Structure formats: structure tokens, C-alpha cells
Amino acid sequence: MHPAEHAARNPGKAAIVMAETGETIDFARLDELSNASAHQLRALGLRRSDVVATLFANAPEVFAFGWAAQRSGLYQTAISNKLSPRDVAYILSDSGAKLLVISPAYAGLAREALAGMADLPAYRWTGSDERLLDWSAAAASRPPGPIDDESAGTDLLYSSGTTGRPKGVMPALPQGPIGADTPLTRMGAGLYGMGGDTVYLSTSPLYHAAPLRWAMAVQQLGGTVVVMERFDAEDALRLIERHRITHATFVPTHFIRMLKLAAEVRARYDVSSLRAVVHAAAPCPVPVKHAMIEWFGPIVHEYYSGTESCGITALSSKEWLRKPGSVGRAVLGVVHIVDADGEEVPIGETGDVFFSDGPTFRYLNDPQKTADAHDARGWATLGDVGRLDDDGYLFLSDRRSFMIISGGVNIYPQEIENLLVTHPAVADAAVIGVPCDEMGEMVLAVVQPAPGVAADASLAEELRAFARRELGGVKTPRRIDFMDELPREPTGKLFKRKLRDAYCA
């Protein structure tokens, strides 16, 4: 179904509840807002398959504008509000966005990113300034009913490439009705019991693929989304009790933070309303998963996928307790494990993880990366390495690249390295992910100082400030160490595995 159908059947039901303020928007109002915005999109000349970009906080506009783009047949590029102006500008240019709409809090970031894009229409959700017009005021004059040419749109989200530049993951536009089922609505209803009585806690930034898609899937199923503006472990428990939350999604870092709360704090809150708790985004340590199942009960579910959504595996607590460490069996597509020659390996052997018979995608403006992610049969990979057991359960063992996953966010080291070596005090740099109890992994930079430069705490802080200014907080190394000389082959290739193994040991 579509939120428009729920607006007709149950108009007063809450579609959105903002956790911090208590602001509530029912399905009728959500439908009116999204229809008005859809009319405004058409008035600006946007048509099916065009790209619109957003730079939103976790706020109601995520849904009001998101459903407007979806019912207008558009691609929506949700941009992280943690990126630097340079990265925002790159995504706007690379995606071919014909419009940018932002939350008011990010007006400064947007203006910097738009400095060289005078012709790109840009709006604040509310309010205006010399560069940004007022979207809500413009849309308020539009009809509250649907546009005449509704068709289903989808997202075009960016995931960092191995060179460090973000890459757009472009799926095919849906061809069916705007309310057609999606893989997540089928999973939500079939595996987790989501439906019209669902009260879902959204815990993560809504510019990421999974949080955005799950929240919209819940509304498509007629449920209520309680939106955390930012995650706090005790607040999550408080909200579960206050709103009688039935479903929630987390990343392992959230689990760790909740488990680190004092026992009396955890015992203070009633979480008995929960029916299904779902986690993904990064490997969950086995002891952490055991502890969460012991606390919440056998309602902790896991799945494995990616922004590309070329395949999904999933498993329940009951299955995981029999197969600890597994990420489940395929629920979308078919899993294959192949060797370096593309041949399938026997059960139990490790190789590259590929999916067949799943949704198709391409990397926007990067045919080589698209080709690298597919084999001659059209099977697609997310770049992970793993094995299948006799029962078809997938176990991930490594990653093809040295991508860092910190707090559920994918970070690629190359971009950080490329920046650090431009600093006059740096001769060479390597960036790796090292284990972190709270974040899963943290970003660590190993720097070879330029000749005559003192390797001390003040240099480390100077480099951290440099990285934060250019790349944003997420990509800034949490720790910087120094070496007299980094280990490289005569060809110049960095022995990054040696560094990583030494630190992980």
C-alpha cells in the first residue's frame, strides 16, 4: 500500500512522531504535505527520472518531501549532513540534481556547497535567505490532492568508492504503482510482523539507506514512525517504554552503548512491547548479540545487504543461536561463493560473495566500477568475502577492500590518506580501521612526518583539525600515530595489511 491509502482509511493515525519535541503528523497531513510538494516539483519542471537532492536533519521534511519525490517518479539523493561542503558539491554535480532542498539547520553548509552552482534551484524547508528560497511557503499555494501523473520513484544514494569519492548507486526506476511492495515491506511484514499496528523506533540518521528505507516501509505498511533526532542509549529505552515501541532497527554500536548502561538503568525501563529488533550495517560481535538476546528475548533479527540491494540475507534469533556468527540465508536473490576465476567453490570454502536474481543497479557515471561489481553472468557483489554452510547460511569472513565500518557508517581510507599527504608536515600516511568496543572500528591514521617535523601531540591535533575541516567529522581519524617510515614495496604499494594486523594484534 501507499501512505495515501492509509490517509484515506485512517486519516487521524499518527504517521510521524518526533521523539524530542513530541510533534505528531498524522497520515492525512502527511499526504497533504507530500501532494503539495509533488505539485511544486511539477511546477518547477521536474519530471519522471529527474534527480532531486536533499540535505535534511532527522525531521518531518524527510517524509513529507520523500513521499513527494516518490509519488512523482523522481530519484531522491539524500545527502549526509555530516559531509564537507566539497563532498556535498561533488554529489550535487555528479548526481545531476535539478533541485536541492535542505533543513534550515544546514543553510551554512548548503551555501558553501552551492558557491559554484549559481543556476541550481535551492530551498530551505522553512525560511529563506539570499540564496535559499522557502519550500514550505512555495508548496503551501499548491493543491493538497495528488498530481495527475503519479508514478513510482526511488532513491539514488551515495556510497563511497574505493578511490574515496562517493559513488551514486542507481537502481532502475520502479514500473508498477506507487504503492507496490518493496523488498523491505515484504521483509517487514513476512519476517518481522510489521503492519498497521507497528510503532517503529527510528534510531539512525535518515540520510543513510537502511534507516530511510525502513522508516518509509513502515509508513507504507500503515505503521507509526517515532524519530530520534540523534541516538542516545537511555533515551532509546525511555522511548520504547513511553511509546510502546513494537519494532526498532539498530546497528551493533547502538547495542554496545545500551549494554554499557548500568544494570539498574537498563532494568528501569519496560521493553516488553518489543516484537522484533532488527540490526545490520556492520558485523555484530558474538558476545554482544548473545547479551542482547538474553536481555530483549529471542526477537533480535539480523540481515545483510548494502545500498545496492542486489541481494539480502536474514536470520532470526533462533537461527542465529544455532549458527552464531552467520548473517543468514538469502531472502532476496541467490547467494554464490566464487573464486578468483569466477568459479563457484564447494560448500564451506571461502570466496567472494555474489548474488544472482536480485534487483539490478549501476554506479552512476562509473561504468568501470559497475563492471567490477558484476561478473560475466550478471551476478553482483557488495565486495565481501565469505562462505556458505551445508544449510545455505552465509558467514562473512573479510572484506575485499580495507573499508572501515565505524558506528555502522562505511568509510574508505584512500580519501583520508590523499588529504593527509597534502599537508606540508606529512611525508606519507596510511589509514586503517582498528577494533573499537563502542564503534566497532575506529579510524586510525599512521603518519610519516616530513623531515625535520616533530612527531608530537600538537601535530596530531593539527592534522585532526585539518581532516575535520576538509572531510567532516565522520572521516576524521580518532587517533593519529607516527612512524619513521611506512612499510611499502619497491613499487610504492603500501603493506597496509601489515599495519592493520599489527594494530589488531
Number of Cβ atoms within 10 Å of the Cβ of 67: 27
Query: Among 229-243, 381-395, 400-414, 484-498, which is the least confidently predicted range?
Result: 484-498
Q: Where are the alpha helices (DSSP H) in 72-134?
A: 85-95, 107-113
Cα separation, 114 vs 88, in Å, equals: 9
- What is the average pLDDT across 457-485? 93
Q: What is the dihedral sign for C-alpha 115, 229, 219, 23?
A: negative
- Residue 163, pLDDT score: 39
Domains identified in the chain and CATH numbers: 28-176 (3.40.50.980), 181-307 (3.40.50.980), 311-401 (2.30.38.10), 404-504 (3.30.300.30)
Cα dist from 110 to 130, 165, 344, whole Å: 12, 19, 47
What pLDDT band is residue 271 in, cutting at 50, 70 and 90?
A: very high
Over residues 61-107, the pLDDT tens digits come to 999 999 999 999 999 999 999 889 999 999 999 999 999 999 999 99
What pLDDT band is residue 490 in, cutting at 50, 70 and 90?
A: very low
Supply the mean pLDDT for the chain: 92
Question: What is the chain's percent helix, strand, coil content, to nearest 5?
Answer: 30, 25, 40
Checking if the pLDDT of 395 tops 60, the result is: yes
Over residues 317-330, the pLDDT tens digits come to 999 999 998 999 99
Checking if the pLDDT of 257 tops 50, the result is: yes
Checking if the pLDDT of 22 tops 70, the result is: yes
Its pTM surpasses 0.85: no
Checking if the pLDDT of 212 tops 70, the result is: yes
- Residue 400, pLDDT score: 63
Q: Where are the alpha helices (DSSP H) in 204-363?
A: 209-220, 233-243, 252-259, 263-267, 286-296, 317-322
Task: Give the 3-state secondary structure of residue 200.
Answer: strand
- Residue 36, pLDDT score: 98
- What is the average pLDDT across 17-38? 98
What pLDDT band is residue 161 in, cutting at 50, 70 and 90?
A: very low
- Residue 489, pLDDT score: 54
Cα separation, 345 vs 195, in Å, equals: 40
The C-alpha cell that represents 10 in the structure block: 485512517
Answer with the residue of higher pLDDT: 386 or 330: 330
Query: Among 78-92, 211-225, 480-494, which is the least confidently predicted range?
Result: 480-494
| CB distance 345 to 337 below 8 Å | yes
Cα separation, 387 vs 260, in Å, equals: 32
- What is the average pLDDT across 360-380? 95
- What is the average pLDDT across 316-344? 96
